[in-house]
Structure 1
């Protein structure tokens, strides 16, 4: 199976900016609020994990009541377009068993709006990721399944390997204008011993403006 690599560049090399990483996370239940996905419990860090290091991604959300909701989560390996990967078995990329319950939750106390805060950490004692790539977590209510209903929410994160070297040069002298409204990025990718047959098809470059996935180009 051909291996496809995604190279992600953010606006770090153009402009340092502050704020929470706005990766594409989705909520499908109107009683669920404040979905956050971050690395190592730090909301200022993007949900990207370096394979082989002791890092974790934390997915948390609020359900706007004190009624206990038994949530079940499923992890999926995805391609560069965030579609579930085809051509590989679940046992190739997943350690453990899918369909585990979310057991970490806490009810609000002495707040004007009652809610229950749920938290899921990956990897954990039940589930781990074996391959690098894009991953999504879909959370369902107990009794529902991935083939029976829409999920309550979907959270996305990445596991990456330092398999290539990247250098870049930014210039205001572009094919569109000269030192005006645009910048042009020139990249050099050294893939060393990584087996690459067709770089134009096997590599994809994403450029994010101010670290926002909805501005990717």
Structure 2
């Protein structure tokens, strides 16, 4: 028969177990929320398939779900493209976060590629002066953040790795001294100024395209640098805002005169101009910036809801400053954004009357390497009559747009949602590759960066 003392002890024990069960559940929820966001739903295993394939891809790609915010840019300017002048003292900086927040053994190596982003076949000793593989030893742990992470940096070329040949390169990061256990691949370019490029951006020459597209005409002057077969030995690539999915390739000279190669097309060198990028600012989660509808913080993390977006395809052009799809990591209430900027669940919503049946919508920008994948796929919410998506992003300032990828297509189309206007400000880069006779690789002999607002 139970006395009052036993009843009291039993009640106390029961309360103890109940408290610890709740505390454990809350801790488990907090530590696994970011994993749940990028883990497959019971009806969708495509995200695991996306990350599960460890086959190397010669493009910007992240192979591990716990790696976030990969950036590769000039060491001194976060918004720059990863382009190096071989004859300069320039350096590139790779940075990324490991959300498992432990210390891992990351190693990086460089792979030389041809103009088509395939391995050139050169041995590392033929394009690297120094060690082919080097450990990443610069790391720091996050500070005062809900999402714990380890931040890694590496700057190159450095005393251990110096590049000796121009061309396309893949920066490959792998784990545990196993080159097959790939974590990251990132593209970058190394050039030498062996030719000069005169170029301009203007409205499209074809009448029906003039209000919607931009045309790039350019001339390559190779005085002092012989090019015996410009139609067979040269490859020209033009990118818009650093995108590779809609790059123009395989352009041949229209005219060849003296030491000049003229590329003055009407159609082949024309880009859809698009629209100025949308933006949001989450440098601070203590107040609502212009595009932020709601911010809340709970045991799972920071949750940011953007104002509902709208289609812009039939709207008039409106000019405002953007950063052409890029993003900038920054925290307002901290001194070191690399380790003090926290992560946020950012929710996007775009009203749309019906489900698109011949393709999908995506949130698009440099923040996801201009990729259309399962993480930035927008799913239709029938109750709200629109597409929505939640992304896990580090605090900062972001540009983005909505794109449509038609089934079977490789280039994303921004015009369905964003519209297109010839006045839109865009950055363009012209790459000139030369496969010199008697050599076994593609040199990058000229790079020209130009802006549509300036016209050159």
State the TM-score bracket (shorter-chain normalisation): 0.7 to 0.9
CA distance in 1, matches of 2:197, 2:183: 38
For residue 118 of structure 1, report the CA deviation from its aligned partner: 0.5
Match of residue 134 from structure 1: 168
Bigger shift: residues 182-191 or 55-64:
182-191
For residue 207 of structure 1, report the CA deviation from its aligned partner: 2.2
CA RMSD of aligned residues (A): 1.9
Match of residue 117 from structure 2: 82
Match of residue 64 from structure 2: 29
1:48 and 2:79 aligned: no
Q: Secondary structure at the match of 1:158?
A: strand
1:195 and 2:214 aligned: no
1:167 and 2:198 aligned: yes
1:124 and 2:158 aligned: yes
Which whole-Å deviations, capped at 9, do the CAs of 1:146-201 have from their partners, x for residues lacking one?
xxx24100011111111111112444352574634334333211112223121122
CA distance in 2, matches of 1:98, 1:120: 15
Please, what TM-score do these two structures have when normalized by structure 1? 0.80
Pairing partner for 1:72 from 91, 97, 107: 107
For residue 215 of structure 1, report the CA deviation from its aligned partner: 2.5
Which whole-Å deviations, capped at 9, do the CAs of 1:66-122 have from their partners, x for residues lacking one?
311011111111111211112x33222111111211111001111100000001111
> Contact between 1:39 and 1:57, CA under 8 Å: does it hold in 2?
yes
Q: Secondary structure at the match of 2:73?
A: strand
> Contact between 1:174 and 1:182, CA under 8 Å: does it hold in 2?
no
* Structure 2 alignment gaps of length 5 or more: 1-58, 249-456
Bigger shift: residues 186-195 or 127-136:
186-195
CA distance in 2, matches of 1:44, 1:156: 15
CA distance in 2, matches of 1:73, 1:210: 26
Q: Secondary structure at the match of 2:225?
A: coil
CA distance in 1, matches of 2:61, 2:85: 24
CA distance in 2, matches of 1:196, 1:63: 47
Instruction: Spell out structure 1 runs of 4+ moving beyond 4 A.
Output: none
* Structure 1 alignment gaps of length 5 or more: 1-23
In our comparison, the structure showing a higher alpha carbon Rg is: 2
CA distance in 1, matches of 2:142, 2:209: 55
Which structure shows the bigger proportion of residues in helix conformation?
2
> Contact between 1:74 and 1:138, CA under 8 Å: does it hold in 2?
yes
CA distance in 2, matches of 1:173, 1:90: 43
Please, what TM-score do these two structures have when normalized by structure 2? 0.40
Match of residue 106 from structure 1: 140
CA distance in 2, matches of 1:151, 1:178: 44
CA distance in 2, matches of 1:170, 1:105: 42
CA distance in 2, matches of 1:66, 1:211: 31
Q: Secondary structure at the match of 1:208?
A: strand
